[in-house]
């Protein structure tokens, strides 16, 4: 063929992280077939869906059997019943949003990846280490990236202090993947004020907001003036166990304008052209998950993950190992002992304790020397890992 492909793809380093991890684990297993490997590297939920959610999905599917209740294409931006459920969920968390600002999606990843469609050639600022989709989607569209460094000194919560005053697009993720670090009200207010003063846009990833327990903002819209500067992207994946079911939402306030152009209108146009909505049974299941009763049920699962995170944190407290996260997040981000590099520590844990985690450098160069463990394994496996780590570290 003689057609041209998108050359920007050549600028994206291949993501070898998880294939590299699997390769190392498989190699180890083939040499040590009787090893009992515990996986604390997964970023996926493991507990089944609450019954109220499955009942709603089943009932909605049964409606499709009947010609009077059958439904075809859903609205591109989501059914009003689900948009209202999202609005009510925010309201119960003391946050007011407009119904027309809510866009239902098949998950946060698509919206975060697709957002580049409606933005022009801006300076892009991305925290590092962080969830890789912000970086890769901007590289695919040929954008130049600036990193904002997360480190131990700023507790992996980079702030705008050292940034210039040019308008920019800034990605923030709180609670953060992979560090679990969470911005407090004062810190997030600084970011919103910075964006307001500089005419910048914040793309705020709140995929882990449901894990917040303490006095931290669950939504950027809890900060004054944020509706003039921020898009919020969120998901039912971790909150309700929807990683396989697929549903999320993005909030684009009507107040959000770039040189008088409504961002909400641009996204509407983009979605109407390239997206055909989320299936009806999934939207009914999401409505059930976001209801008062549904949230109660989902929280029961989150409590199990919290308990695992707490036990891991207690271990690192006892061992005097520096870490962040684990309190408002299913992720614990620790400093590799004895100045080991991320992959060195990975191999050490695999061989000496048969534990698999995620090397921090996989989330960006400032993640080198750190390591991510997750609370998504079963309690039994988490306890097994803790007793092995107790002896090893
Ligand atoms: N944002 C962050 C920070 C994540 O860690 C993830 C998934 O791991 C996502 C977004 C994607 O979520 P979804 O399953 O809704 O696409």
With a pLDDT cut of 90, the percent of the chain lying above it is: 96
Residue 18 is predicted with a pLDDT of: 85
Task: Give the ligand 1 atom nearest the CA of 130.
Answer: 3
Using the 8-state DSSP alphabet, how is residue 82 labeled?
Answer: H
| pLDDT tens by residue, 46-63 | 999 999 999 999 999 999
Residue 211 is predicted with a pLDDT of: 97
d(CA 191, CA 203): 11
CA of 243 relative to ligand 1 center, distance in Å: 9
CA of 258 relative to ligand 1 center, distance in Å: 26
| C-alpha torsion angle, residues 253, 178, 18, 305 (rounded to 10) | -100
Q: Which helix (H) or strand (E) holds 352?
A: helix 342-353
Average pLDDT over residues 242-253: 98
**375, two tokens:** 């609370």
Mutate to test the pocket of ligand 1, among 44, 86, 131 (most ligand atoms within 8 A of CB): 131
Residue 323 is predicted with a pLDDT of: 98
Residue closest by Cα to atom 11 of ligand 1: 109
For the chain, which domains are there?
7-49+295-392 (3.90.1150.10), 51-293 (3.40.640.10)
The string over 230-245, giving b where at least 16 C-beta atoms fall within 10 Å of a residue's C-beta and e elsewhere, is: bbbbbbbbbbbbbbeb
Q: Is 235 in the pocket of ligand 1 (CB under 6 A)?
A: yes
Residue 20 reports pLDDT greater than 90: no
Residue 40 is predicted with a pLDDT of: 96
Helix axes 292-318, 280-290, angle to 10 degrees: 70
Query: How sure is the predictor about 13, in pLDDT bands with cuts at 50, 70 and 90?
Result: confident
Task: Give the ligand 1 atom nearest the CA of 238.
Answer: 14
Residue 133: which residues within 8 A CB-CB, separation 6 or more? 109, 112, 113
Query: How sure is the predictor about 16, in pLDDT bands with cuts at 50, 70 and 90?
Result: confident
| pLDDT tens by residue, 112-156 | 999 999 999 999 999 999 999 999 999 999 999 999 999 999 999
| pLDDT tens by residue, 354-374 | 999 999 999 999 999 999 999
Structure pTM? 0.97
With a pLDDT cut of 70, the percent of the chain lying above it is: 100
Nearest to 171 by CA among 375, 371, 364, 368: 364
Residue 97 is predicted with a pLDDT of: 98
Three-class SS of residue 189?
helix
């Amino acid at each position: 063929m003689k057609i041209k492909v998108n050359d920007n793809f050549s600028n994206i380093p291949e993501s070898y992280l998880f294939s590299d991890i699997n390769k190392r684990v498989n190699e180890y297993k083939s040499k040590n077939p009787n090893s009992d490997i515990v996986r604390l590297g997964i970023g996926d939920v493991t507990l089944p869906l609450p019954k109220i959610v499955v009942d709603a999905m089943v009932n909605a599917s049964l409606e499709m059997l009947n010609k009077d209740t059958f439904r075809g294409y859903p609205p591109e931006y989501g059914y009003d019943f689900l948009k209202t459920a999202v609005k009510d969920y925010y309201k119960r968390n003391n946050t007011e949003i407009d119904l027309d600002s809510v866009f239902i999606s098949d998950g946060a990843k698509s919206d975060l990846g697709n957002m580049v469609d409606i933005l022009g050639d801006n300076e892009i600022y991305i925290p590092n280490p962080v969830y890789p989709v912000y970086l890769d989607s901007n590289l695919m569209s040929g954008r130049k990236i600036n990193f904002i460094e997360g480190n131990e000194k700023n507790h992996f919560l980079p702030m705008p202090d050292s940034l210039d005053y040019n308008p920019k697009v800034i990605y923030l993720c709180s609670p953060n993947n992979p560090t679990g670090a969470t911005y407090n009200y004062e810190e997030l207010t600084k970011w919103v004020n910075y964006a307001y003063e500089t005419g910048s846009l914040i793309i705020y990833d709140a995929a882990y907001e449901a894990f917040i327990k303490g006095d931290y903002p669950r939504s950027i819209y809890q900060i004054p003036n944020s509706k003039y500067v921020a898009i919020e992207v969120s998901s039912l994946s971790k909150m309700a166990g929807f990683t396989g079911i697929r549903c999320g939402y993005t909030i684009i306030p009507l107040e959000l304008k770039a040189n008088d152009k409504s961002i909400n209108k641009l996204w509407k146009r983009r979605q109407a052209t390239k997206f055909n909505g989320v299936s009806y049974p999934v939207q009914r299941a999401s409505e059930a998950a976001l209801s008062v009763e549904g949230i109660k049920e989902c929280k029961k699962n989150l409590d199990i993950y919290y308990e695992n995170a707490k036990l891991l944190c207690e271990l690192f407290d006892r061992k005097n190992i520096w870490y962040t996260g684990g309190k408002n997040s299913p992720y614990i981000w620790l400093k590799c002992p004895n100045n080991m590099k991320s992959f060195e520590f990975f191999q050490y844990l695999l061989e000496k304790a048969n534990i698999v985690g995620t090397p921090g450098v996989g989330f960006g160069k400032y993640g080198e020397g750190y390591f991510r463990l997750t609370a998504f394994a079963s309690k039994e496996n988490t306890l097994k890992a803790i007793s092995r780590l107790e002896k090893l570290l």
